[in-house]
């Protein structure tokens, strides 16, 4: 029981470190925690967890921690311990934000003078699209869709919509929300 709570805290503490300020790599990271590292969820359950976290108000990491901690504790232990699992996972995901904000506020002028912030951001920029793409590929896997395999038609349309979104946002400066709406309508019509 204590080991499960410790695993929840550490896993979501690391998620909170990655998610500070919001991060497009979270679906892949959360999938890695729940599927590969701890085998708490199946890929289809992670897809459902991410979908649920995205449609509820709040941050993806916070919602995934709350629901994931509750579900993991309920399935591993008993229902009575699930609220504590949810609390521990939520505490783990929020603690890095409080700590890093406090440190950043303390040393803000020093970091600005040294240019450390811009250096770190320039290192991370090329990595983020690859990690976000790996999360998208993870969600297209057969088990993430409930056992059905993805057809060539679905794959082709998905790739076309992905490329169209990048071109529309980058070249024509369309709003990402507008592009998301168009892709949602196209997906609804085509699938």
pLDDT tens figures, 69-88? 898 888 887 777 889 999 99
Q: What is the pLDDT of residue 141?
A: 64
Residues 144 and 155 reside in one and the same domain: no
Domain that holds residue 32: 2-148
* DSSP helix/strand/coil, 51: helix
Q: pTM for the complete prediction?
A: 0.59
Angle formed at CA 123 by CA 140 and CA 115, multiple of 5 degrees: 145
List b or e across 129-153, with b for residues whose CB sees 16 or more CB atoms inside 10 angstroms. Answer: eebbebbeebbeeebbeeeeeeeee
Residues 18 and 75 reside in one and the same domain: yes
Comparing 123 with 85, which gets the higher pLDDT? 85
Residues 141 and 157 reside in one and the same domain: no
Angle formed at CA 18 by CA 62 and CA 23, multiple of 5 degrees: 75
Residues 41 and 108 reside in one and the same domain: yes
Q: How many domains does the chain have?
A: 2
Residues 53 and 10 reside in one and the same domain: yes
Percentage of residues in the chain having pLDDT higher than 90:
12
Residues 157 and 169 reside in one and the same domain: yes
Residues 116 and 158 reside in one and the same domain: no
pLDDT band at 92 (very low <50, low <70, confident <90, very high): very high
Mean of pLDDT values over 32-61: 82
């Amino acid at each position: 029981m204590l080991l499960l709570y410790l695993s929840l805290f550490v896993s979501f503490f690391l998620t909170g470190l990655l998610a500070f300020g919001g991060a497009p790599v979270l679906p892949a990271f959360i999938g890695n925690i729940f599927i590969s590292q701890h085998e708490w969820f199946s890929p289809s359950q992670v897809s459902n967890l991410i979908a649920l976290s995205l449609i509820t108000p709040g941050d993806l990491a916070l919602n995934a921690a709350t629901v994931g901690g509750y579900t993991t504790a309920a399935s591993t232990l008993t229902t009575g311990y699930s609220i504590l699992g949810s609390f521990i996972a939520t505490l783990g995901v929020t603690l890095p934000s409080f700590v890093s904000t406090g440190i950043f506020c303390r040393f803000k002028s020093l970091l600005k003078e040294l240019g450390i912030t811009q250096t770190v951001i320039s290192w991370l920029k090329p990595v983020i699209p690859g990690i976000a793409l790996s999360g998208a590929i993870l969600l297209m896997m057969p088990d993430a869709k409930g056992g059905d395999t993805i057809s060539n038609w679905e794959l082709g349309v998905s790739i076309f919509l992905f490329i169209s979104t990048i071109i529309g946002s980058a070249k024509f400066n369309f709003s990402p929300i507008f592009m998301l709406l168009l892709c949602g309508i196209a997906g609804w019509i085509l699938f």
